[in-house]
Structure formats: structure tokens, C-alpha cells
Structure 1
Amino acid sequence: MCLGIPGEVVDILTEHQDLAKVDVNGVRRTINIGLLQDEDVRVGDWVLIHVGFALSKIDEEEARSALEFLETLGKAYQDELDALRDSHID
């Protein structure tokens, strides 16, 4: 199962403006935010992530609610976190 997971933007990479570092429940990874170029993504914003791409900008309340729901999925959510943990964008 593939899920969209909320992550908080913790850094925008200055050398690659279409890349940002996000935090998803303590897992920090670089993702592509190029699809949101018109959204003015900044540090502290929340985005919905799927396969290394930010698909949409969401508010913190929506992110928290989604994370609470995802945690109830157990293994599917853990598998998605593991996949995020193992992913790398250079």
C-alpha cells in the first residue's frame, strides 16, 4: 500500500530550490517540492508526501489529524516510514 504522508519542512536546499528536507515523525529526508513551485513552500510548512514528492501543501491541523489516522494503520504506516527512511535524493 502506498500512502501520502504529512511532513514538516525543516530546510529548503539553497543549491536546489526544488528540494527540501522534511521531518516525518523523526525521520528526516530530502524530497522534491518542485510540483509546489507556485505554493511558496517555506520552513515550518506542512506538505503531503508520496514517493519522494510533495503533492500538496496542508495546514498543521490537517497534518496532525492525518498522522494520527496513519498511526492506526500499523504495519502499512510503518512500511511507508521505513521506505521514507531508506530513500535518498542526492
Structure 2
Amino acid sequence: MLKEEIRKLLIKDHKKEIERERKKLAYFEDWEVLYFKQEVLEYLKRAKSEKIVDLSRVKRLLLSLLAIEQRMKESSGGTK
């Protein structure tokens, strides 16, 4: 979903926040996480079309998306 260089920078700079978000996702079923991912992607699309963008909100959404992707990779048997 995210460009690889942006992904690496976000993970490097916000590792603790992503880990905290990922731990919260551990309590949800896979289908709920997939639904949440779709919601996050929809919010990001909407933010992209807005004239005035709340960058802190976009950052939180991107961090949530990274946490979701890590959670999904983990539940499918991939590494953390």
C-alpha cells in the first residue's frame, strides 16, 4: 500500500507507536482487522481529496495501516 521508502521511514521514526497500535489489534479477529483496514484506506482517500488536510490525522492513519499490515502478516504466519 505505502511506498517502501515511506514505510521504512515511518517504521524507523514511530516504532513504539506502531507496536502499541499492533498490540491493540491483537484482541480483534482477522475479519475485524480487515474491516478496519478498509476503513483506514477509505479515510486516507477522503483526506487526499480534501483541500485542507489534518496532517496529524493522516499520520495516525498511516501508522494504523502499518500496524494492521504487520498484524496481518503475523497472523498469516509471516515474521513480525
Question: Hey, which of these two has a bigger chunk of helix by percent?
Answer: 2
Of the two structures, which has the highest relative contact order with CA contacts closer than 8 Å and spacing of 6 or more? 2
Q: TM-score of the superposition, structure 2-length normalised?
A: 0.31
When you count strand as a share of all residues, which structure comes out higher?
Answer: 1
